[in-house]
Each structure stands twice: as structure tokens, then as C-alpha cells.
Amino acid sequence: MKPAKAKMPRKPVIKKGSQSNLKDPVGVYCRVRPLSFPDQECCVEVVNSTTVQLHTPEGYRLNRNGDYKETQYSFKRVFGIHTTQKELFDVVASPLVDDLIHGKNGLLFTYGVTGSGKTHTMTGSPGYGGLLPRCLNMIFNSIGSFQAKRYVFKSNDRNSMEIQCEVDALLERQKREAMPVPKTPSNKRQADPEFADMINVQEFCKAEEIDEDSVYGVFVSYIEIYNNYIYDLLEEVQLDPIKPKLPQSKILREDKNHNMYVAGCTEVEVKSTEEAFEVFWRGQKKRRIANTHLNRESSRSHSVFSIKLVQAPLDADGDNVLQEKEQITISQLSLVDLAGSERTNRTKAEGNRLREAGNINQSLMTLRTCMEVLRENQTYGTNKMVPYRDSKLTHLFKNYFDGEGKVRMIVCVNPKAEDYEESLQVMRFAEVTQEVEVARPVDKAICGLTPGRRYRNLPRGGPVGDEPLVTEVILQSFPPLPPSKLLDINDEETLPKLIEALEKRHHLRQLMTEELNKQCMNFKALLKEFDSSLLNKENYIQEKLNEKEKLISGQKSEIERLEKKNKTLEYKIEVLEKTTTIYEEDKRNLQQELESQNQKLQRQFSDKRRLEARLQGMVTETSMKWQKECERRVAATQLEMQNKLWVKDEKLKQLKAIVTEPKPEKPERPSRERDRERILPRSVSPSPVPLSSNNIAQISTGQQLMSQPQLHRRSNSCSSISVASCISEWEQKLSPFSTPVNVTSLARHRQQEPGQSKTCIVSDRRRGMYWTEGREMVPTFNSEIGVEEDRCRRGDVYKTRGGGQSVQFTDIETLKQESPTGSRKRRSSTIAPAQPDGTESEWTDVETRCSVAVEMRAGSQLGPGYQHHAQPKRKKP
Ligand code: ADP
Ligand code: MG
């Protein structure tokens, strides 16, 4: 056999992140009930006041082949089999009642397998009142004379309380009493004999430090949680014996303080232990009936009896309750008798009942899980969600663990061997639970009114009869009287002695009376003196009071004046504020307007700039276009003229040839000079040889320019007057349009400014051209020039680099000399004169490739109405 291994109690775990000073662990107590039969095998041993040891029962040991261990479990306190209900109450429950009376919440539950003594502990057995009646007893003992009248407190459906004034409460009482079935239980009623011995608690127990300046009300409710449904055991329902109505389950709600409560649950106001227990007993009976009717197992349900203590402070006079809802303090003590913690198979439940049993175990399982998660969170600082909502039981008590309050659990154990395994489970749960910490409830707020209000207005001093009479005291101080019994008829001593003693007493009495009178007189004098001094003082005080009153009235008027002033100033301020707002609004509006105007201006400015740019572009474009157009027209005109000139020249040559050939024998022609002089006015022979820079100047001189090439060209020819006249005749026959125009030269001055259009003044003269002052006269063509642009490029371009000026002219004669074969290819020469600064000019040759035929066609296409004006500018020096 293996040695028994004693499991030592767990060491307290050092909690992480918990404020030990503000939290208390759940108080777990263990109560071991006595065995039902003395010969039963016992497996639980109370080692000391805090430790129990579980012994493995014999049968169990044999089944497990001797592999067993003995375990010890420690609790806050362990109660053995001889523990009385009173002892248990004093240790476990009375602190909770004390807290309740001081406005703090408490939860007390019994846990254990069926038959372990949970109900015995909580409710009690006949003759042995349990914790519940004892708690009630203590509460009523404590608050007894400070209880509020019935219906002063009224519970509402939001888990809070309302206060009614005394009159309303009285009216409600009368109304209820007038009802056919009085619902109001009487607190004067005798206890039901059924439970009378359970509440007949001999031991007087009372809470300490009761707030006597408050009034109290007690409300009780009793619910049952069965199969995860909540039933109100105090609900008034008409029981139909034939067709019993199924009880309606209730739902849970959360109030504004995050406390869970059963919505619509009956709360009965009770005024005594008897009355409260009677209400409880009513619920208990109902529970039993329901179990029988619905074939339920009573051990599978949890019962919750709640005691709600409502307290409100007395008003400043100490007469009535303060009518302020915020000053009400509500505390609650829940006494829970849990269902048996044994597993389902032990109860041999079947079908529906098995499911129900499973659910009940499920809610206990949830309770276990909640405790485990709470412990884990508190020990390791984790933040796991506690599954309170998984069962109604845990959900209802959620705030006891999450919020604040005092939680205590009594683990009930039946030491019999059959319960061993279940007891082990119970112990393990208890171990877990006592490591869970719950926030300590805070002390209730003080209302702020002066303490001792209740007794302030009551008459002072106790009853008069209790104190010994003054005469008796005086009599006792007199010398004792001699025996007054006459022994015989001849006794002459007794009476005289008695008379003497009485006389002495009489004398003494007289003396005392005199003394008393004297003292009375003295006292009267003193009183008078005191009276007069009092009067003086009173007068003095009155004077002072009058002074003060005057001062007060003066100050009052001053205050009134200041208040008036204040009001005026306030009014002024108001007006000023209004004005300011108006001004500010105006300012805002103006600023907005300014901004919008600015924006508008900017827009306009940018528009203007855009427009300017566009116009600039248009101007440039137009000028370019016109420049090109002018160039094209000028070129076309030049070309046309050159062609005509050339044709005329050819014809002249032919004519010359005709004239000269048949008359070789004719006398010598007049001299060239003479011919020329005669022909010159009509001749428009081509331009001379390429001009040198010096010739530019000669251009202006007109005649000179033209005479030179003629001299040169016509040096070989001999002409006569008859020939000339013939030519003239021939020319006359030609139509004005086909008349060849002899353009000697066309010099054009380009303007320095680009884009400036050039105009050519064309004269009507058919023959010749002359240079006038800065003006070149050319024949006019009333025709449209339809020559393409590339044709316009014909001619010589005279460009100067430095001055940017150019003169263009064409000399067909020269071209012909250069190309004597008569090829259609002609070369345009561009003469670059010397730069104004003396640097060398650049010559550009442009080859023209247009055919004469095309040119002629172009010439013939010139229609009437077309005017080409060219205004060459003189080259600037
Ligand atoms: P539970 O409610 O746990 O099922 P009960 O409280 O109904 O168990 O107890 C079952 C029986 O045991 C009752 O008859 C009760 O009188 C008795 N009993 C329980 N605990 C004690 C005790 N400590 N002393 C005497 N009898 C007890
Ligand atoms: Mg029970």
C-alpha cells in the first residue's frame, strides 16, 4: 500500500495588477454535515478550523488498485459537524447583514451535492433556523424602530425606488386595506406554526452603528432558476386546479448602475422577520407545488432570495423622510441555494429531465468557468471575456464579480463515502473560487445634514417615577424612631420616648423648613438677580439685534441698489453685445463683398491679359499674312513685267532683224547716241548689268541707271527713225494688256520693321519707269494675280545684314547676257552692298525654274480690276 500523500493547502498567489487594498477574495467557507447514520464510512476529516482532508473511501481505493491520494483543502473557515447555525451565522452571514445595513451589497451562496446540507444551512430545518431567517432577524432587530411607514418607499420597474410623502403613503395603506383581499401582510401577525420554530431565534443579534437619522424599508423577492429559466415565486397568479397554468419565465435587465435584475419581479415590502419569512415560505410552497405539478426535481433548481434594504435620510427637522430620490441608498443581500452540483448520471434522470438536469449542471459549469476565467485574468493580468451571459445564474450575479460587493460561499459537504468523488469536484471549485477577488464595496455617501436629527426635538430626561423621591431621602436622613409597640398597659416609657423623638423630628423639620425657606429666598433673590441680568442682557442683545437689523436693512438696500445697477449694466452689455454682433456681421459681409470684388477684378484683369495676348497674336498673324500676300503680288507683277519685257525684246530683235536684213545696202544708221536719244523716251529695255554698291545710289537718279545698259546692249545694233516708227506703229496695234512692259529695274526697299506691308505705286504708263524722289512708278495692272508663291521668289533679293534692308530688282537683260543660250533657267542675283559699318555683304543666289509659258499664262490670267500697289522704300543711308 502506497503511503498517503497529503496535499498541502495552496499558498496564496501573488496577483498581478490587482489592487489588493481595494479588493477582497471571495470568502469560501466549508461546512461538513454529520453522517446520516453513524456506521457510514466517512471520507472527510476536519483537520483544523481552516483545513479539511478528504480520505479516499475503501471501495474507491480498491477499484483504483490502491492508487489514491489524500488531499487537504483550506478555507477561510471550516465548520465541523457540531457547528451550530448560530456560529455559522455569526461568522459568515452577520458581516454581510452589517454591510447591507451600511448600504453595501452582498452575495451568499451554498454549493454542494444534493443532501450535503445546503438548504439546511441556508433556510434551516425545523427547530434550526438557517442563515436566511437569522439574517432577517438581525436586519429587523437593527432597523426596527427606524423603519419607514409602509408605502413610503415604492419599488419601480427599473430596479430603483421612489419616495412617497407620509400622506400619500397613508392613503395607499387605506386603499389597500379597503380591498376585498388584503394584500398587505400584517407585521403584528403571529408566525405560521409551520416555520415558527425556524424563526424563533433566541439569540439577539443586532448590527452596530446604525444611522439613526435615516428611515429604512425592507423589500424581499424570491426567484427560482430552473432549466435556465427564471420564475418569480412571489407572483400572484390564480391557480387553476384543473388546468394549471405554466409559470411565465422572466427576463434579466441591467439598471443604470449596471446591476442585473429580474424585470417585473415581485418585491414585497416587509416589516418584520415573521412577515418576511412568511413571504419566503409562500414562495417555497409554490416552488414545491410547481415541482410536483411539472414533475421536476427540486434539487435541480437554484433559488435566490433577495433582501433589499432601502434607506433615506430624515429631513433637517428629523420628523419626516427627505423627499429626495438621489438620497436613497439601496443595498441588496442575495441568498442563493444552488442546485446540487453532482453530475447528471447520478440523479438517474431521463428524457426531458435529463436535458433539464444537463442545463442545470451547465449553469453550474458556467459558474465554474466564470470563476476560472476571473482568476486567470486577475492572476496573470489577462483580459479574457468572462462568459457571464452563458447562463442566467451567472448573468444575474455578474456585477457582484465585475462590480463591487462582498461575495461569500459556503461549501457543504456530506462526508459519506458515496459522495467522495463529487466532493472532490466541489473542493476543486472552492479552491478556484477563493482565488477570485472582488472589489470592496464603498461606504455610502453622507447626506450632509446634521447628525442627531431624530432625537433633537424629543423631550429630554427619562420618566420621573424612576428616581427616588426627595422626601424619602430626607426621611432617611432623620434619626430612627424608637420602637412604638406598647408592651403592656402600664408601659409609660415607650410613648414619651416616641413623643420626644417625634418632637425632635418636628423641630428638625422646622429647622429644615426654615433653612429651605431661607434657601428659597436666596434662590429667589438669585433668580431675580439672574432675571434682571438676563433682562439686561436681553436688552443689550435686542439693541445689538436692532443695530444689526439696521445694518442688514442698509446692506439689503445697498444690495438692491447694486442689483439694479447690475441689471442696468447687464442690459447695457446686452445692447452692446447686440450692437457688436451687428457690426461684426456687417464687417463680415463687407469683407465678403471686398473679397468677391477682388476676385472679380482679378478675373477681369486676367481676361484682359488673355484678350491682349490674343489680339497681339491676331495682329502678328494678320501682318504676316499681308506681308506674304504683298510679297507674292509684287513678285507676280515683276514676273509678269519681265516676261512682257522679254517678249517685247524678242520681238524687237526680230523686228530689228527683219528691218536690218533686207536692206544691207541702206545708208548707215544714225549714231547710237542719236538713236538712243530718240528711242529712249519710249524704250523700256531691261536693267543694266548687276549693280555695284555704288550703283544703288544711281538708282535714285533714274535716267542714268537706265541709259547705261542701253548703251551697252545696243552698241551693235543700228536703228533708224523709220524702224523706230515701225516699232511704234506695231506697238500701237497691240492691246494694252498684251503690251510688253519694260521694267528696267524694280528696286524695293524693305522696311526695318517686320510685318509692315509694302505698297507699290504703279503708274499707268506703259513704257519705261522712272525713279522719283523715293518713289518708283510702275505700270498698273488691273488683273488678279494667280501665281503661286514659289513663283514669287523669282528675282534678285538684295539683302543687307547690318541694316536689315533689302532691295530687290530683276534685270532680264543681264540674265540673258549671263545665259546667252536663251535657256529658261535664270539666275537671280542678290546684291549685297557694303554694310554701313564697312563689313562685307553676303550674296544669295536663288535659282528660278519657272517656265516662260507658265509666266505668260499667269500674265494672261491677270484680270481687270486688280490693282497692285507697291511702295518701295528707299534704302536708308
Ligand atoms: P441539500 O439542500 O444540500 O440537498 P439538505 O439541506 O436538504 O441538503 O439536507 C438534507 C438533510 O440533511 C436534511 O434532512 C437536513 O436536515 C440534514 N442536514 C443537513 N445538514 C445538516 C447538519 N449540519 N446538521 C444536521 N442535519 C443536517
Ligand atoms: Mg436543498
- pLDDT tens string 698-711: 444 444 434 444 43
CA distance linking residue 144 with residue 142, whole number of Å? 6
What pLDDT, on a 0 to 100 scale, did the predictor assign at position 248? Answer: 86
800 near 791, Cβ under 8 Å?
Answer: no
pLDDT band per the 50, 70, 90 thresholds, residue 186: low
Question: Is the confidence at residue 866, as pLDDT, over 90?
Answer: no
What's the CA-to-centroid distance between 205 and ligand 1, angstroms?
A: 24
Residue 120, pLDDT above cutoff 60: yes
What burial class does residue 139 get, using C-beta atoms within 10 Å of its C-beta: 0-12 exposed, 13-18 middle, 19+ buried? buried
Q: Per-residue pLDDT tens for 233-259? A: 998 876 666 766 777 899 999 988 888
Which stretches does DSSP call E strand in 227-259? 229-232, 249-250, 252-254
Instruction: Share the mean pLDDT of the chain.
Output: 74
Answer yes or no: is pLDDT of 141 > 80: yes
**pLDDT: which is higher, 836 or 633:** 633
253 beta partners: 261
Pick the atom of ligand 1 nearest to 116's CA: 3
Q: Which of 87, 120, 335 to mutate to test the pocket of ligand 1 (most atoms within 8 A of CB)?
A: 120
Q: Alpha-carbon distance 73 to 47, whole Å? A: 10
Q: How many Å apart are CA 151 and CA 158, to the nearest integer?
A: 17
pLDDT confidence of 746, banded at 50, 70, 90? very low
Comparing 320 with 133, the larger pLDDT belongs to 133
- The answer to whether the CB of 473 falls within 8 A of the CB of 481 is no
* pLDDT at res. 14: 39
The β-bridge partners of 52 are: 46, 73
Helix crossing, 131-143 with 273-293: angle to 10°?
150
Exposed/middle/buried for 416, CB within 10 Å: 0-12, 13-18, 19+? buried
Cell of residue 213, nine digits: 437619522
User: 119 CA distance to ligand 1 centroid (A)?
Assistant: 7
Nearest alpha-carbon partner for 56 in 47, 69, 45: 69
CA distance 305 to 336: 6
Q: Which of 749, 746, 699, 698 is nearest to 876 (CA)?
A: 749
pLDDT for position 239? 63
Residue 754 has pLDDT above 70, yes or no: no
What per-residue confidence (pLDDT) applies to 288? 87
Interatomic CA distance for residues 265 and 157, integer angstroms: 8
Of all residues in the chain, the percent with pLDDT exceeding 70 is 64
**What 3-state DSSP class applies to 255?**
coil
Please name which ligand lies nearest the alpha carbon of 198: 1
Alpha-carbon gap, residue 209 to 187, rounded angstroms: 25
Q: How many CA atoms lie within 13 A of 825 on its CB side?
A: 5
Classify residue 146 by its DSSP letter.
Answer: G
Q: Indicate the pairing of strand 70-74 with strand 6-7.
A: parallel
Half-sphere exposure of 196 (CA within 13 A, CB side): 6
Annotate 598-663 with DSSP letters as a single string: HHHHHHHHHHHHHHHHHHHHHHHHHHHHHHHHHHHHHHHHHHHHHHHHHHHHHHHHHHHHHHHTT-
How far are the Cα atoms of 78, 100, 216, 647 from residue 174, in angstroms, in the given order?
50, 31, 21, 149
Q: What is the DSSP string of 510-560?
A: HHHHHHHHHHHHHHHHHHHHHHHHHHHHHHHHHHHHHHHHHHHHHHHHHHH
The set of residues, in sequence order, having a beta carbon less than 8 Å from that of 291 and lying 6+ positions away, is 297, 298, 301
Are residues 127 and 191 in contact, defined by beta-carbon separation less than 8 angstroms? no
How far apart are alpha carbons 320 and 803 in whole angstroms?
122
Q: Give Cα 355 to chain centroid, integer Å.
A: 47
Rounded Cα gap, residues 351 and 285, in angstroms: 26
Q: Is the shortest distance between the CB of 214 and ligand 1 below 6 Å?
A: no
Work out which ligand 1 atom sits closest to the CA atom of 113: 3
Measured by CA distance, the residue closest to atom 10 of ligand 1 is: 115
Q: Is the torsion defined by CA of 148, 149, 150, 152 positive or negative?
A: negative
Q: According to the model, what pLDDT value does residue 254 have? A: 92
Buried b / exposed e along 827-836 (16+ C-beta atoms within 10 A): ebbbbbbeee
DSSP code of 760? B
Amino acid at 403: G
Residue 388 cell numbers, joined = 457571464
298 lines ligand 1 (CB under 6 A): no
Spatial CA neighbour of 416 closest among 116, 84, 66: 116
Locus of grid cell 537706265? 706
What is the SS3 assignment for 441? coil
Question: How is residue 301 written as a grid cell?
Answer: 433548481
Span between the terminal Cα atoms of the chain, in Å: 144
pLDDT for residue 499 is more than 70: yes
Cβ–Cβ < 8 Å for 426, 411: yes
Q: What is the dihedral of CA 9, 11, 17, 23, to 10 degrees?
A: 60
Expressed in angstroms and rounded, the spacing between residue 116 Cα and the centre of ligand 1 is: 6
Q: What is the mean pLDDT of residues 33-49?
A: 91
| CA nearest to 766, candidates 709, 681, 698, 656 | 681
Residue type, 404: E
pLDDT of residue 717: 42
Can you give the length of the chain in residues? 877
Predicted confidence band of residue 500 (pLDDT cuts 50, 70, 90): confident
Contact by Cβ (8 Å): 748, 870: yes
Decide whether any atom of ligand 1 lies within 6 Å of the 125 Cβ.
yes
CA-wise closest residue to 349 among 340, 357, 361: 357
Give the Cα separation of 818 and 558 in Å (integer): 129
pLDDT band at 360 (very low <50, low <70, confident <90, very high): low
CA-121 nearest atom, ligand 1: 6
Pairing of strands 437-439, 762-763: unpaired
**pLDDT-based confidence at residue 130 (cuts at 50, 70, 90):** very high
Whether 370 and 386 have beta carbons less than 8 Å apart is answered as yes
Across 33-133, where does the E strand assignment appear?
44-48, 51-54, 70-74, 77-79, 106-111, 124-125, 128-129
Angle at 652 between CA 647 and CA 657, to 5 degrees: 130
Our answer on whether the CB atom of 416 is closer than 6 Å to any ligand 1 atom is no
Mean pLDDT, range 749-778, rounded to an integer: 41
Q: What is the model's pLDDT at position 730?
A: 56
Cα 194 to ligand 2 centroid, rounded to whole Å:
18
Do the Cβ atoms of 400 and 105 come closer than 8 Å?
yes
Task: Give the model confidence (pLDDT) of 634-666 as tens digits.
Answer: 999 999 999 999 999 999 999 988 888 755 554
Please work out whether the CB of residue 415 comes within 6 Å of at least one atom of ligand 1: no
- Number of Cβ within 10 Å of residue 432's Cβ equals 18
Q: Coil, strand or helix: which one is 792? A: helix
33 within ligand 1 shell (Cβ under 6 A): yes
Please give the DSSP secondary-structure letter assigned to residue 347: G
Q: Tell me, what amino acid is at 733?
A: K
Band of residue 547 on the pLDDT scale cut at 50, 70, 90: very high
At 796-827, the pLDDT tens digits run 444 434 444 444 444 444 444 444 444 444 44
Give pLDDT, residue 689: 40
DSSP string, 658-715: HHHTT-TTSPPPPPHHHHHHHHTTT--PPP-SPPPHHHHHHHTTTHHHHHHHHHHHTT
Residue 530, class by beta-carbon neighbours within 10 Å (0-12 exposed, 13-18 middle, 19+ buried)? exposed
CB of residue 117 inside a 6 A radius of ligand 1: yes
Q: Measured between alpha carbons, how far is 633 from 626 in angstroms, rounded to an integer?
A: 10
Q: Where are the beta strands (DSSP E) in 19-81?
A: 23-25, 27-32, 44-48, 51-54, 70-74, 77-79
Q: Which pTM value belongs to this model?
A: 0.55
What percent of the chain lies above the pLDDT cut of 90? 39
| Residue 813 pLDDT | 44
Q: Please tell me the residue having the least CA distance from ligand 1 atom 19.
A: 117
Ligand 1 pocket, mutate which of 83, 125, 131 (most atoms under 8 A from CB): 125
d(CA 607, CA 75): 95
Candidates 763, 797, 800; CA nearest to 779 is 763
Residue 347 beta carbon below 6 angstroms from any ligand 1 atom: no
Asked whether the predicted pLDDT for residue 833 surpasses 80, the reply is: no
Write down the pLDDT at residue 200: 73
Residue 75's pLDDT band, with cuts at 50, 70 and 90, is very high
